[in-house]
């Protein structure tokens, strides 16, 4: 029973407007309107001198079916898929170990996942290039140990792009998993083994279902950014494994075809909406996406 | 006995596995730090030519690099301040009051979090270009504030979920007005959430590549400067600055360690 105090009789309009007003205006001007601009622009045409003119056309969408583009979508989705799977395969046992360790410096283990994040991601990706390049560290080591007789080109393929993506996005998988695994009630696991269940059965019937929410939100946080991280495929993929982000970036920079870039962005938005809908259908909580 | 051996093997395997993951996470950082001490002067600055501190000294002659670092910090501070102020009052307002369009605001909040950053970047570029706002420091601040606001709100909201409204009512029954109550009751309770949100806003801003790439003009942030130099090989003075930034952040982490520890404990 909540007692109604005299203060609630006052009108709530003014305080509600002063608190929520600024954020509403901000979201309207810098999120809603810009996205509407993109939607409108995706139906615009270019004149002879490559200026955007507001003349309706569906041509930009027709161009999305270009076989070259379709190949980039396929690559992009494959890269995102393998990145997500690798993040789960490595991230799950890793999160499990650091979340349930009895070591007294447990918090340090958690922080060490975040610290690399605080160095600029571009320069860390470039660090991988220095490590893997033909004149790089790994080749030096291999030559010195006489494993190879001449430098091997490790870079510039889909594999290195996936490596870079896993590297950039790994913490986004670990953090929700860590939270989910840490919440696990140890008494449930003890009860299961007391009742005679083997380790694998306990894992399948108890641990996995209870931590699945972490896997789902981690997957969303990894898969979607992967489609847009153009700088990773630029630096490590060398143009051989472009993602949708590269395609969009080119239209807004060198290609200078903003309407086409806008149409491509609409595709990305639709993919995002679809994945988020699936996530919600699976019982995912939107708030756990904020990290 | 057999069981004991099995347990030891299991433990060692676990430690080995985690060490490999940490090695993976820290490998590029080892490369960066080593690179900052490399005496080489020829592009692409990879071959090891001996140990030197020169790059740390030369760094202070590279005005373009230093001013990009200054711009990064300025933009991060202002956008953190803006997003923390707007986000905190919004989180409180959305928690306390019912109003029309609340669902809409909630939905809009998730957009910057879930859509790929590139879409946010090009949509802001489209906005600035259509409204003829020149791309400059201002557009970078506006963009960074936009992607930071939701994170501040989520952090403060997490703090509010355990918030007892009656302490505010008590304060007001005792004669304090709304502002006084906000200052003496609400803000202190929310402080850890606000601090967490602000820290996240700051980190997101200094590390941002993609949104800045589309919304910058004359003013270049440090990540954009790195991007420019990547084609010709990142010079060791960039490595030196990155190493200094890393050292700074590690000190910051150690400094706020107790806070993070508390946060982890609270999650249980």
**CB atoms closer than 10 angstroms to residue A5:** 14
Q: What percent of chain B has pLDDT over 70?
A: 94
Per-residue model confidence (pLDDT) at position B267: 47
**Contact across the interface for B116 and A127, Cβ inside 8 Å:** no
- Closest CB to A272: pick one of B44, B115, B261: B115
Q: Residue A109 belongs to what domain range? A: 63-289
Nearest-by-Cβ selection for B116 from A90, A133, A225:
A225
Mean pLDDT of the B233-243 span:
86
Q: Please indicate, yes or no, if residue A107 is contained in any of the structural domains.
A: yes
**Average confidence score pLDDT of chain B:** 86
Tell whether B165 is covered by a domain: yes
At A98 the pLDDT is: 92
What is the least distance, in Å, from the CA of B233 to any CA of chain A?
9
C-alpha to C-alpha distance for B247 and B229, rounded to whole angstroms: 22
Residue B260's pLDDT is 54
**Residue A223 falls inside a structural domain:** yes
**Cβ–Cβ contact A50 with B under 8 A:** no
Tens digit of each residue's pLDDT (9 = 90 or more) over A211-250: 898 999 999 999 999 999 999 999 898 877 899 999 999 9
Q: Is residue A33 part of a domain?
A: no
Between CA A248 and CA A263 the distance in angstroms is 9
Most confident of A195-199, A207-211, B74-78, B103-107: B74-78
Q: In chain A, which residues have their Cβ closer than 8 Å to the Cβ of B10?
A: none
Rounded CA-CA distance B38/B158 in Å is 46
* For A259, nearest residue in chain B (alpha carbons): B126
**Greater pLDDT, B188 or B15:** B15
Domain count, chain B: 1
From residue B133, give the alpha-carbon distance in Å to each of A259, B7, B42, B117, B216.
20, 64, 41, 21, 12
CATH code, domain carrying A275: 1.10.3720.10
Highest mean predicted confidence (pLDDT) among A78-87, A183-192, B91-100 = A78-87
Give domain status of residue B3, yes or no.
Answer: no
**Model pLDDT, residue B228:** 85
What's the rounded mean pLDDT across residues A37-54? 87
Is residue A5 predicted with pLDDT exceeding 50?
no
- CB-CB contact of B76 with B206 (8 Å): yes
Q: How many separate domains does chain A show?
A: 1
Higher pLDDT, B167 or A61: A61
Lowest mean pLDDT among A47-61, B111-125, B211-225: A47-61
Query: If pLDDT is split at 50, 70 and 90, which confidence band does A162 have?
Result: very high
pLDDT (mean) for B208-232: 89
Report yes or no: A136 and B237 within 8 Å, Cβ to Cβ.
no
Q: Name the minimum distance, in Å, from the CA of B118 to any CA of chain A.
A: 6
- Chain B nearest-CA residue for A36: B123
Query: What percent of chain B is predicted at pLDDT more than 90?
Result: 41
**B166: domain range?**
63-267
- Show residues of chain B in contact with A34, CB under 8 Å: 123-124, 126-127
Could you report the per-residue pLDDT of B100-114, keeping only the tens digit for each?
888 899 889 999 999
| pLDDT at residue B1 greater than cutoff 70 | no
Distances (CA, A) of A265 to A36, A38, A61, A135: 12, 8, 11, 37
Residue A137, in any domain of the structure: yes
**Interchain CB distance below 8 Å, B28 and A128:** yes
Q: In the 8-state DSSP scheme, what is residue A212?
A: H
**Residues of chain B with C-beta less than 8 angstroms from the C-beta of A138:** none
* B211 found inside a domain: yes
CATH of the domain at B75: 1.10.3720.10
For chains A and B, CB pairs below 8 A equal 256
């Amino acid at each position: 029973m909540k007692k109604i105090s005299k203060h609630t009789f006052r009108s709530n309009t003014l305080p509600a407007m002063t608190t929520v007003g600024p954020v509403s205006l901000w979201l309207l001007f810098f999120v809603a309107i810009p996205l509407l601009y993109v939607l409108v622009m995706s139906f615009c045409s270019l004149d002879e001198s490559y200026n955007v003119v507001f003349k309706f056309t569906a041509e930009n969408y027709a161009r999305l079916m270009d076989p070259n583009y379709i190949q980039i979508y396929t690559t992009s989705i494959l890269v995102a898929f393998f990145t997500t799977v690798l993040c789960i395969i490595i991230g799950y046992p890793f999160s499990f170990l650091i979340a349930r360790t009895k070591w007294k410096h447990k918090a340090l283990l958690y922080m060490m996942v975040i610290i690399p994040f605080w160095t600029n991601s571009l320069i860390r990706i470039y660090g991988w290039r220095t490590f893997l390049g033909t004149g790089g560290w790994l080749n030096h080591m291999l030559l010195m140990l006489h494993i190879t007789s001449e430098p091997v080109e490790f870079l510039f393929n889909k594999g290195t792009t996936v490596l870079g993506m896993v590297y950039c996005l790994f913490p986004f998988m670990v953090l929700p998993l860590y939270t989910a695994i840490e919440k696990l009630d140890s008494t449930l696991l003890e009860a299961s083994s007391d009742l005679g269940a083997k380790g694998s059965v306990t894992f399948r019937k108890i641990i996995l279902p209870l931590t699945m929410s972490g896997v789902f939100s981690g997957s969303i946080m990894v898969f979607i950014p992967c489609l847009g991280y153009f700088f990773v495929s630029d630096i490590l993929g060398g143009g051989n494994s472009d993602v949708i982000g590269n395609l969009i970036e080119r239209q807004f920079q060198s290609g200078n075809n903003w309407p086409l870039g806008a149409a491509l962005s609409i595709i990305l938005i639709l993919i995002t909406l679809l994945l988020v809908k699936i996530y919600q259908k699976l019982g995912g909580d939107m708030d756990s996406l904020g990290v | 006995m057999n069981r004991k051996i099995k347990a030891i093997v299991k433990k060692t395997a676990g430690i080995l596995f985690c060490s490999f993951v940490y090695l993976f996470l820290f490998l590029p950082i080892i490369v960066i730090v080593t690179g900052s001490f490399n005496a080489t002067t020829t592009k692409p600055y990879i071959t090891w030519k001996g140990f030197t501190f020169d790059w740390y000294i030369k760094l202070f002659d590279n005005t373009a690099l230093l001013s990009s670092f200054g711009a990064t910090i300025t933009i991060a501070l202002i956008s953190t301040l803006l997003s923390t102020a707007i986000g905190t009052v919004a989180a409180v307002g959305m928690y306390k009051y019912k109003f029309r369009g609340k669902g809409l605001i909630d939905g809009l909040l998730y957009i910057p979090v879930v859509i790929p950053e590139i879409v946010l970047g090009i949509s802001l570029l489209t906005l600035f270009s259509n409204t003829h706002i020149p791309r400059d420091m201002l557009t970078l601040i506006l963009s960074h504030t936009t992607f930071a606001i939701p994170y501040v709100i989520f952090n403060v909201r997490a703090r509010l979920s355990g918030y007892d409204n009656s302490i505010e009512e008590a304060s007001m029954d005792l004669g304090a007005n709304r502002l006084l109550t906000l200052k003496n009751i609400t803000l202190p309770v929310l402080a850890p959430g606000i601090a967490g949100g602000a820290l996240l806003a700051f980190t997101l801003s200094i590390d941002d590549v993609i949104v800045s790439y589309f919304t910058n003009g004359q003013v270049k942030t440090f990540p954009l400067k790195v991007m420019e130099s990547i084609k010709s090989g990142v010079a060791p003075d960039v490595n030196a600055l990155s190493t200094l930034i890393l050292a700074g952040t590690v000190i910051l982490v150690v400094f706020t360690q107790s806070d993070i520890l508390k946060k982890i404990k609270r999650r249980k």
